[in-house]
Amino acid sequence: MLNSGISVLFEGVNLERLLLGLLVTLRVALIAVVISIVMGILIGIIRTSKSKLVQILFKLYLELFRIIPILVWLFVIYYVIPANFDLNLSAEVVALIVFSLWGAAEMSDIVRGAIISLPKHQTESSKALGLSVSQMYRYVLIPQATKRCIPPMINLITRMIKTTALLTMIGVVEVIKVGQQIIEVNNLEHPTISFWIYGFVFFLYFVICFPLSRFSRKLERKWAT
């Protein structure tokens, strides 16, 4: 019976465990997002430099994260580094490293794109008014670029939250992993359990990501002009 599954959700500490799993998911995502934004802004500004070497180096960094799947990055750092460098990293720390590096790369691309898409005369008139380079960024370029950055940044954050699903693969006990554990224990007794548990996990992701995506679309429309 379908109904029997749903009761499991509220049995014992199951619900609490799922929400704690969600907390792990959000903790990794949130810390990585904060690091990504800070690093992404810095790297993004650096990437507007005219130096070819700087451009190529950071482009390479970005492409490495675009070409190689995040899951592979997780495996590489989780399994390869400890084996070869005598360094034991917990799964969650590995997740944070990979997500921060990935997020920073993507954020930097958003920031760079926003800055170079600003009309050139904004730079020129800043200079003609005697502003220093840092004043130009602070008062003119960054405020204008911020508006262009925020909607794509929110989209990236949603993507990062969704991609935390991969963390079960290196053994982080996040919301999906907890779900699997509950299913394994109850599967024989309640054959429909996986429907309810995964349905609930689906619901949790939706509740977090949908408002974000709506918010970014609203901002995009509001700032379209």
Partner 1 sequence: MSGQIPILKVKGLTKKYGEKIVLNGIDLEVEKGKVIAILGPSGCGKSTFLRCLNGLEEVQGGDILLDNESLINKSTKWREVRQRIGMVFQSYDLFPNLTVMENILLSPLKVQKRNRSEVEAQALELLERVGLADRANDYPRQLSGGQKQRIAIVRALCINPEIMLFDEVTASLDPEMVREVLDVIAQLAEQGMTMLIVTHEMNFAKLVADEVIFMDKGNIHEQAPAEQFFTNPQTERAQQFLNILQF
- By the criterion CB under 8 A, which residues form the site for partner 1? 119, 121-122, 124-132, 135, 139-140, 143-144, 147, 225
Please report, for residues 44, 55, 85, 123, 143, the alpha-carbon distance to residue 127 in angstroms, rounded to integers and kept in the order given. 21, 23, 49, 6, 17
**Least Å distance between CB 147 and partner 1?**
8
**Least Å distance between CB 114 and partner 1?**
13
Q: Which two tokens stand for residue 142?
A: 């960054």
User: Which of 56, 129 has the CB closer to partner 1?
Assistant: 129
User: Which of 144, 181 has the CB closer to partner 1?
Assistant: 144
**Least Å distance between CB 131 and partner 1?**
6
User: Which of 79, 139 has the CB closer to partner 1?
Assistant: 139
**Least Å distance between CB 137 and partner 1?**
12
User: Which of 71, 118 has the CB closer to partner 1?
Assistant: 118
Answer whether 120's CB lies under 8 Å from 99's CB. Answer: no
3-state helix, strand, coil in the chain (%, to 5): 85, 0, 15
User: Which of 66, 138 has the CB closer to partner 1?
Assistant: 138
Using CA atoms, how far apart are residues 199 and 193, in angstroms rounded to an integer? 10
Using CA atoms, how far apart are residues 201 and 209, in angstroms rounded to an integer? 12
**Least Å distance between CB 130 and partner 1?**
4
Q: Which two tokens stand for residue 26?
A: 């959000």
| Cβ within 8 Å of residue 201, ≥6 positions away | 18, 175, 176, 179
